[in-house]
Amino acid sequence: GNVVSKTGRYRLFPIAGTLVMGVGLYLMSLMGPATGAGLESLYMFVLGTGIGLSMQVLTIAVQNTVEYSDLGTATSGVTFFRTLGSSFGTAVFGTIYANSLGPNLRDGVAAAARTGAADPSVIARASTSPEGVHRLPPPASAPVIGAYADTIQTVFLWTVPVAVLGFVVALFLKQVQLRDSARAGSTDMGEGFASPHDASSRRTLEASVGKIIGTTELDTARRIIADSDTRLDVAGAWAVMQVDLFTRLVGHASLGLIAARRRLPPEVLLPVFDRMVEEGFLTRHGSLLSHTDAGAREALVIGRAWAAWLEDRVERDIGRPTDTELRAAVDAIAKRLLVEDLSNGLPQRIRQGATADRPQPSPRSPDARTGVG
């Protein structure tokens, strides 16, 4: 996952994975009663490496080549067909195992009976369970154990052509430029083995938005504000949008809360907020800040310009989301960052001050008398 994220290339991994998987399955078919635990572990490591190289990367390949609107369907489709293949494979190879075990076990029981180490009827009954086989004398148990080993070898041999077929199919996999959102999710190996869920599209959208916002430079923000119809300069627009953000996510905005979130002394931000109050874009009620009608209009204009720019960038990455989905993704990211800062990053006195900034009910209000909030 880390290699895919850094290089953006994933085509090689399914090809190498299916090849290594085929080698691992063939090695597993060589196991017998005399195979040691160390050698068995080596064979299983080879097989596991092949599976690991293929499973998650194939999910990334599918998610990287479909539109955002089809992302949930595509991811669920991958999981559905993977589950269907597992069920089909279990049925097919279970049938091969059952059909091979019967003749092999009859031959093994007959060979054990010829040793004279135990009664043939006892051997026949004991051969149906591991406990019974272990209770047999070694000369009688060896042919029975060999029968089971031969059957398992047959099953693993039949799986090798399936891996070869997967290798041939993987050769036709096309390399498509990896989206930023796919890069962000490529290190999450659990996704390739998880059940389908409704949140896959939302998580991908949030990953895309987070990547775009995280790499946006200050000049881009200046250009967005300059291209919008706002009457505010960059500093004023920032102040108005900070009040909009905190009011939407927290329920109230104050200079102390905004300054603490930005790790700045309130005195640094005080001039721009005072100017917005004087120019009629913000109003101050005690320590709380809120929009005037003019400020609300400016916040709406700036928000639309920012959303249009972000929507265009997201569309290039994963496809076009709806306005509601885009706003929900931005709010979710902002809320997580805000909650993290408020719970971990801010000094205790600031957190207490932020709590004190909340409007308190009047002693004469019904809320104060009844305690109902």
Interval 216-262: pLDDT, tens: 777 787 888 888 888 898 899 989 989 988 888 788 899 988 888 77
In the beta sheet, which residues pair with residue 283? 290
Q: What pLDDT score does 283 carry?
A: 94
Tell me the average pLDDT across 264-270.
Answer: 89
pLDDT at 28 > cutoff 50: yes
Interval 76-94: pLDDT, tens: 888 888 889 889 999 999 9
310: confidence class by pLDDT, cuts 50, 70, 90: confident
Among residues of the chain, what percentage have pLDDT more than 90?
29
Among residues of the chain, what percentage have pLDDT more than 70?
74
In what side-by-side order are the strands of the sheet with 288-291?
253-254, 288-291, 282-285
Distances (CA, A) of 211 to 5, 71, 174, 223: 13, 18, 25, 19
Q: What pLDDT score does 373 carry?
A: 28
Tell me the average pLDDT across 43-72.
Answer: 81
Interval 167-214: pLDDT, tens: 999 998 888 776 555 554 444 444 444 444 444 566 777 677 777 777
Output phi, psi for 289, to 5 deg.
Answer: -115, 145
Interval 114-144: pLDDT, tens: 888 888 888 888 888 888 888 888 888 899 9
Q: 344: exposed, middle or buried (C-beta count within 10 Å: 0-12, 13-18, 19+)? A: exposed
Q: Could you name the CATH architecture of 1-183?
A: Up-down Bundle (1.20)
Task: Tell me which of 18 and 327 has the higher pLDDT.
Answer: 18
Q: Are 14 and 53 in contact (CB under 8 A)?
A: yes
Q: Is 246 helix (H, G, I), strand (E, B) or coil?
A: helix
Tell me the average pLDDT across 333-358.
Answer: 48
Tell me the average pLDDT across 17-25.
Answer: 94
pLDDT at 296 > cutoff 60: yes
CA distance 182 to 9: 11
pLDDT at 362 > cutoff 70: no
pLDDT at 31 > cutoff 60: yes
Q: What pLDDT score does 99 carry?
A: 93
- Mean of the per-residue pLDDT values for the chain? 78
Tell me which CATH code domain 200-344 carries. Answer: 1.10.10.10
Task: Tell me which of 77 and 291 has the higher pLDDT.
Answer: 291
Tell me the average pLDDT across 6-35.
Answer: 88
Output phi, psi for 47, to 5 deg.
Answer: -65, -45
Task: Tell me which of 55 and 194 has the higher pLDDT.
Answer: 55
Q: What pLDDT score does 153 carry?
A: 93
pLDDT at 273 > cutoff 90: yes
Spell out the domain ranges in the chain: 1-183, 200-344
Q: What pLDDT score does 195 carry?
A: 41
pLDDT at 366 > cutoff 70: no
